[in-house]
């Protein structure tokens, strides 16, 4: 199927009304839901992306994760899939203009308006980060603005899609760059570890453009832009727009720092610093976070070293010295349980055991789900009222008896288990060269999202093959791939 479709054409049940816009990754159409109750924005990705097997697999997984986001400033993902060889993404339709168009037509924004719009964007991004999702393509074109009587309402779109098209491994194709590189963080160019601070950098670039009227690294060529992101110090907005307070210079020194450790820890922290600077307050650079992370790592090592045995001192009368009794702590991850919970139990069992919960459903597999965010555990059921058949955890304190769990490295996993852990067929690329899941025994999977670190662990029994047309391991891999990653 071509991405060039006409009005009246039906794609995945959505009836196309008209084309809204097009870009490097595909074409967006205004369409009607099958029921006709509301309009949707239907994005059809370019054929080149659909033919990329690795992209197609990850697109389907991560749009599933994006569909879980529930925030008033996020454009909701309604459906996604593969229709006759074309990847599609159906999103909530928002009437308004994108921030790119606003800046093109109106020039730089008044500071209060810029901060007001990007405060909403920051809230949406931080919520996504809390859910384990990094946008990776924060730019004006992905911020929609709906003007209301009470002011601008901002929405962030293209969650779940941006991660791939702007990742370091796919910045270029045979035809050149995919998307824009004007807002890309250095670590993304270098292929480094990506977390929410990448979005902080990109949001800093967007804020700079809103206030100064120009992109922070506006150069004559794309190569020069990339070089500037990697090597040149952030520009000073007060030198471009003398009416802006010099305190903003410090804000952008931090927001656009080359190392993620030197940036603001959240998007909200960046916007609050900018708000303070614009209000005439003195803004100081936050303490370097690298030391804090090193200290946290040292504490984690000490905790891990002492977790296997817990000394219990019992003193009861007499003059003899107290004696320590070693109590062995049972592992949180085994071939039959996670955090002490076993499979095959009804929903009420897990609610009672883990406490506060949130119900959801995977749209591709229609699995009812209970997510226990405080415990960082989720339970999946083959159907409503049926016993659980998949348990997952992204809690880094949950470990096997050998000390392997979420946030452990793959190198640590291989060192401990050797050839006892094997790459799964359902979690590998068609050529068998790329793997994102490993099996230990018959019921345990270690999942990764960056091929370096275990993102989450899956315990599964699976559902009957004849019911869903796939193997138990196949569906366990799918669930693990869309699960929240450890932090």
Catalytic residue IDs: 137
Least Cα distance to 161 among 264, 49, 273 occurs for 49
Please give the Cα distance from 479 to 96 (Å, whole number). 35
Furthest C-alpha separation in the chain? 91
Residue 246 DSSP symbol: T
Structure tokens at 421: 């852990």
Tell me how far the alpha carbon of residue 228 is from its chain's centroid: 26
For 280-287, the CB contacts below 8 A with 24+ separation are 280/245, 280/247, 281/247, 282/247, 283/247, 283/248, 283/250, 283/251, 284/250, 285/250, 285/253, 285/254, 286/254
- The alpha carbon of residue 440 and the mean position of all alpha carbons in its chain are separated, in whole angstroms, by 26
**Dist CA 89 CA 65 (whole Å):** 13
Q: Say if residues 426 and 446 touch (Cβ distance below 8 Å).
A: no
User: Is the distance from CB of 3 to CB of 86 less than 8 angstroms?
Assistant: yes
Q: What b/e sequence results for 421-451 when a residue is b if at least 16 CB atoms lie within 10 Å of its CB, and e otherwise?
A: beebebbbeeeeeebbbbbbeebbbbbbbee
Tokens of 178: 């995919």
């Amino acid at each position: 199927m071509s991405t060039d479709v006409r009005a009246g054409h039906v794609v995945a049940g959505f009836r196309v009304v008209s084309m809204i816009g097009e870009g490097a990754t595909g074409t967006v159409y205004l369409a009607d839901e099958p029921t006709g109750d509301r309009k949707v924005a239907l994005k059809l990705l370019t054929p080149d992306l659909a033919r990329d097997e690795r992209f197609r697999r990850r697109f389907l997984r991560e749009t599933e994760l994006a569909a879980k986001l529930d925030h008033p400033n996020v454009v909701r993902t309604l459906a996604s899939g593969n229709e006759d060889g074309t990847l599609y993404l159906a999103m909530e339709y928002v009437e308004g203009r994108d921030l790119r168009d606003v800046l093109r037509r109106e020039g730089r924004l008044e500071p209060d308006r810029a901060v007001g719009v990007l405060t909403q964007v920051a809230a949406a991004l931080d919520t996504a980060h809390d859910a384990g999702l990094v946008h990776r393509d924060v730019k004006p074109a992905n911020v929609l603005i709906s003007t209301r009587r009470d002011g601008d309402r901002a929405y962030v779109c293209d969650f779940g899609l941006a991660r791939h098209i702007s990742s370091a491994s796919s910045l270029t194709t045979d035809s050149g760059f995919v998307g824009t590189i004007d807002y890309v963080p250095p670590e993304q160019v270098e292929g480094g570890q990506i977390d929410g601070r990448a979005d902080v950098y990109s949001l800093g670039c967007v804020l700079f453009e809103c206030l100064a009227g120009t992109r922070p690294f506006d150069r004559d060529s794309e190569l020069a832009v990339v070089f500037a992101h990697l090597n040149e110090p952030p520009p000073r907005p007060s030198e471009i727009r003398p009416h802006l307070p010099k305190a903003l210079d410090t804000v952008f020194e931090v927001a656009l720092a080359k190392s993620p450790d030197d940036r603001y820890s959240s998007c909200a922290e960046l916007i609050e610093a900018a708000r303070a600077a614009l209000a005439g307050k003195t803004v100081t650079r936050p303490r370097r976070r690298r030391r804090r992370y090193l200290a946290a790592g040292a504490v984690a090592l000490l905790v891990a070293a002492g977790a296997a045995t817990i000394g219990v001192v019992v003193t009861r009368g007499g003059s003899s010295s107290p004696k320590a009794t070693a109590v062995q702590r049972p592992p949180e991850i085994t071939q039959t349980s996670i955090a002490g919970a076993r499979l095959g139990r009804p929903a009420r069992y897990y609610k009672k055991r883990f406490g506060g919960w949130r119900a959801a459903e995977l749209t591709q597999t229609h699995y009812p789900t209970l997510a226990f965010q405080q415990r960082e555990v989720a339970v999946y059921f083959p159907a409503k009222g049926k016993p659980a058949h998949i348990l997952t955890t992204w809690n880094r304190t949950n470990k096997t008896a050998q000390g392997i769990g979420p946030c452990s490295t793959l190198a640590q996993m291989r060192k401990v288990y050797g050839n006892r852990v094997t790459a799964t067929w359902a979690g590998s690329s068609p050529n068998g060269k790329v793997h994102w899941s490993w099996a230990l025994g018959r019921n345990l999977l270690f999942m990764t999202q960056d091929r370096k670190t275990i993102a989450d662990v899956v315990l599964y029994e699976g559902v009957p093959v004849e019911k869903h047309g796939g193997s138990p391991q196949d569906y366990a891999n799918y669930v693990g791939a869309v699960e929240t990653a450890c932090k």
